[in-house]
Amino acid sequence: MAEVSEEAIRAYWKEHREQLRQCETQRSALTNLLLVITAALSALIVQQKFSTYVMPLCLFVAMTGGYGAVAVSKYFERASYHLSQARALTKDLVELGVLGSDEGLVRARVDHYRRFPRLHRIRLHRLWVILHLAIALYGLCLFSVCVAVA
């Protein structure tokens, strides 16, 4: 019966890890899509010489940046959930004796933090949110230029 329990825990652990990867893949795809849209609309806005007709496009760029910031925050929340679930299941597997101790992992983590004392403190999800907020600000700047030119 213990083998069935171990296998069920392993399968559940694997599912959470796959969901975590899917969140990261979706975040990456969304970011790439919004960057391509922003670049294409920027080219169109400049080609139209910041005329009043492209003001809605400027606002659209700003809105996509805001949407991206919210969406990547949600992807981070979901990824954190799946990671916490996988960690809890890993703890269960250790307690069942299926996995060995995590002393090696703890040692490697400490060594990593020692090698990168500043970079390990920067949270990657914040960089993604800042990127999308920068897109929103860029859209507002494009709008401001259109207003100034008009």
pLDDT for 78 equals 96
Q: pLDDT tens per residue, the chain (150 residues)?
A: 445 578 888 888 899 999 999 999 999 999 999 999 999 999 999 999 999 999 999 999 999 999 999 999 999 999 999 999 998 888 888 887 777 777 888 899 899 999 999 998 999 999 999 999 999 999 999 999 999 998
Is 34 in contact with 135 (CB distance < 8 Å)?
Answer: yes
Domains: count for the chain: 1
Question: Kind and range of the H or E element at 135?
Answer: helix 124-149
Q: How far apart are CA 145 and CA 150, in angstroms?
A: 8
Residue 127's nearest CA partner among 61, 31, 41 is 31
pTM of structure: 0.87
* Residue 27, pLDDT score: 96
- Domain span at residue 59 reads 2-149
For residue 135, give every residue at least 6 positions away whose Cβ sits within 8 Å of its Cβ, in sequence order, or none.
34, 35, 38, 61, 62, 64, 65, 68
